[in-house]
């Protein structure tokens, strides 16, 4: 995939809402100058090393609602929600026939509805791995697999996708990924979710909208093109000519650059560590490391005044590929984790926020 962007009105600070504070939040904080991400009071690296996806989700949901939830309660609710979603799969997937995994997932998310006795938050977050697992298996002509409600969310996601129980190392690697990407300040999909929630539309509408915003390659659609780029480069000898020629054509290199970070995205190193700890199937890591090093140098030369460094999507692609997750499912897997943040932000917006309704700069013709 090749992305060329026209020269835009980047010089006007409010266009694109750069630097505009759209909400107050206790959920996460991105410090672009220091390269720091804090999620509900803890640095992302610390959380990835010490907490589970269920634990971080409990922190986010507790902070958003003011009601204390434990890791065990979230784990039980997500297990129950996976089971309920599986029972309703034919209805949830009814509108996904003939669609790609990314688009079928959008139809599946839009097909969710309230479940008796379960919070909307758990219903949504629990259903997502069931939907992506079923879509991946359907694409291979295989029947979907029932969830195991007592398994961890990450381990059950891998099993429903790949048809075999993951090793503890594999489950830990996906869990670390889920923790790392579960929330990230006022990114485009979270902002979209909050805009929809600010109208007091329900969580199902808000999260469906958030997923739609995630699918673009400037946001959560980048990891599949990262692998396409690594495939296209192919060998060490081709790194320099391929990258130089892409930059000369003014292409954007996937997995690099960020609107907020002016230094390396802290999530990149957390994921790199997770890949190294996996110690299997990551034969491509040294090659990817060489590609990364050369691209960082080339971007410095091309844009000396605009720091452009590795973002989370570069190592996401390598980690999910090492776990044998098909690349067509990368964006839905990202959404499976980010939905913890989306639901928390939607709750926080509805509880404390105000209708989000900015204005535009009219540059069109005026009546005579
Ligand atoms: N490759 C090459 N050049 C780049 C890249 C890149 N990845 N990113 C920015 N640039 C260049 C721009 O072309 C521009 O150059 P110019 O002034 O010569 O035209 C300059 O850097 C400044 O770019 P901005 O417009 O300030 O960048 P912006 O903040 O709009 O973009 C974005 C951020 C969208 C992430 C961008 O870096 C990009 O397209 N990256 C590639 C896609 C990607 O990795 N997406 C995932 C992001 S992480 C996430 O959302 C989870």
* pLDDT (mean) for 222-236: 94
This prediction has a pTM of 0.94
Give the pLDDT confidence score for residue 143 in this predicted structure: 97
Closest-CA residue, ligand 1 atom 15, reads 303
> pLDDT digits over 123-139, tens only?
999 999 999 999 999 99
- Does domain 223-322 bear CATH number 1.10.230.10? yes
* pLDDT (mean) for 265-269: 94
Reported as a pLDDT band with limits 50, 70 and 90, residue 285 is confident
CB proximity list for 336: less than 8 A, separation 6 or greater: 125, 128, 129, 132, 157, 178
Domain ranges of the chain: 28-217+330-352, 223-322
- Does domain 28-217+330-352 bear CATH number 1.10.580.10? yes
Mutate to test the pocket of ligand 1, among 252, 264, 305, 316 (most ligand atoms within 8 A of CB): 252
Determine the angle formed by the axes of helices 168-181 and 266-278, rounding to 10 degrees: 170
Give the pLDDT confidence score for residue 13 in this predicted structure: 56
Q: Structure tokens of 301?
A: 């030369």
User: From CA 140, how far away is CA 161, in angstroms rounded?
Assistant: 11
Query: Could you say which of 153, 258, 292, 348 is catalytic?
Result: 258
Closest-CA residue, ligand 1 atom 17, reads 303
Q: Which atom of ligand 1 is nearest to the CA of 5?
A: 13
Residues with CB under 6 A from ligand 1: 10, 187, 217-220, 222, 252-259, 299, 303, 306, 308, 311-313
Residue 228 appears among annotated catalytic residues: no
Closest-CA residue, ligand 1 atom 26, reads 259
Give the pLDDT confidence score for residue 324 in this predicted structure: 95
The alpha helices in the chain, defined as continuous H runs, are 44-50, 53-65, 71-87, 89-92, 101-110, 120-139, 153-162, 168-181, 188-198, 203-214, 223-233, 239-248, 266-278, 285-302, 312-322, 330-352
Q: Which atom of ligand 1 is nearest to the CA of 312?
A: 48
DSSP 8-state class, residue 236: G
pLDDT of residue 221 exceeding 60: yes
Q: What is the CA radius of gyration of the chain?
A: 20
Reported as a pLDDT band with limits 50, 70 and 90, residue 9 is very low
Residue 46 appears among annotated catalytic residues: no
Give the pLDDT confidence score for residue 222 in this predicted structure: 87
pLDDT of residue 10 exceeding 70: no
């Amino acid at each position: 995939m090749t992305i060329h962007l026209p020269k835009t009105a980047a010089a006007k600070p409010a266009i694109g809402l750069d630097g505009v504070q759209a909400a107050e939040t206790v959920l996460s904080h991105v410090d672009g100058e220091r390269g720091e991400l804090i999620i509900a009071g803890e640095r992302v690296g610390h959380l990835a090393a010490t907490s589970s996806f269920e634990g971080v989700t409990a922190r986010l949901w507790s902070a958003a609602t003011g009601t204390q939830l434990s890791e065990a309660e979230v784990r039980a609710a997500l297990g129950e929600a996976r089971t309920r979603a599986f029972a309703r799969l034919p209805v949830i997937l009814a509108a996904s026939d003939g669609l790609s995994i990314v688009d079928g997932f959008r139809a599946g998310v839009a097909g969710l509805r309230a479940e008796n006795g379960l919070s909307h938050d758990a219903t949504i977050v629990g259903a997502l791995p069931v939907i992506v697992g079923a879509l991946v298996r359907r694409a291979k002509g295989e029947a979907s697999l029932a969830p195991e409600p007592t398994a961890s969310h990450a381990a059950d996601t891998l099993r429903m996708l790949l048809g075999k129980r993951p090793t503890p190392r594999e489950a830990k690697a996906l869990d670390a990924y889920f923790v790392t990407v579960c929330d990230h300040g006022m990114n485009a999909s979270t902002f979209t979710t909050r805009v929809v929630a600010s109208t007091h539309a329900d969580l199902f509408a808000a999260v469906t909208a958030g997923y739609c915003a995630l699918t673009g390659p400037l946001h959560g659609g980048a990891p599949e093109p990262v692998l396409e780029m690594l495939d296209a480069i192919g060998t060490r000898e081709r790194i320099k000519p391929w990258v130089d020629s892409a930059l000369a054509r003014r292409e954007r290199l996937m997995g690099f650059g960020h609107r907020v970070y002016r230094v390396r995205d802290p999530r990149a190193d957390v994921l790199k560590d997770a890949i190294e700890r996996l110690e299997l199937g990551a034969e491509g890591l040294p090659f990817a490391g060489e590609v990364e090093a050369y691209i960082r140098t080339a971007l410095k030369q091309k844009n000396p005044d605009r720091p452009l460094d590795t973002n989370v999507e570069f190592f996401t692609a390598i980690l999910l590929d090492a776990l044998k997750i098909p690349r067509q499912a990368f964006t839905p897997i990202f959404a499976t984790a980010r939905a913890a943040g989306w639901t928390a932000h939607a709750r926080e917006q509805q509880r404390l926020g105000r209708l989000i309704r900015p204005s535009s700069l009219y540059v069109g013709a005026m009546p005579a």
